[in-house]
Amino acid sequence: MKELSDALFALFRGKDLQLRERPGLAGASASETDRYEELLVNPAVLTLLHRRGELDCGGLDHVWIRYGNFWTGLFPLADGHLNVGLEPSAVPTEFVGRIRAELQRHGLAG
């Protein structure tokens, strides 16, 4: 995966959840579990890591999680988070600058 446009996205802001998935993606999780992940799991993960980061680590910028079938990157926003899903062969750190640029372009960067 070289293009950010090939990634899966979930944008959770306030109470609004938007999911964008690529059709025919091998190894993707079920859409219903994706919904619960965005509403429950990812906000909890970000809360825990944000609190830890504020203690003495300089805060939290983003976090990558490597599941068996894909990478997922969580980027905290003022009112929610962006989740970017990448194929397992991707190198997540190569996408951070492009993700930040897209957040800026859409007025979501903090």
pLDDT, tens digit, for every residue of 58-85?
A: 999 999 999 999 999 999 999 999 999 9
> What per-residue confidence (pLDDT) applies to 27?
55
Question: Across 1-110, where does the E strand assignment appear?
Answer: 8-13, 16-20, 63-66, 71-77, 80-86
Per-residue pLDDT, averaged over 83-102, amounts to: 94
> What per-residue confidence (pLDDT) applies to 109?
80
* Average pLDDT over all residues of the chain: 88
Of 33-37, 42-46, 47-51, give the lowest mean pLDDT range: 33-37
pTM of the model: 0.86
Q: List the domains of the chain with CATH numbers.
A: 4-105 (3.30.450)
Cα 43 from Cα 38, distance rounded (Å): 7
Per-residue pLDDT, averaged over 5-31, amounts to: 76
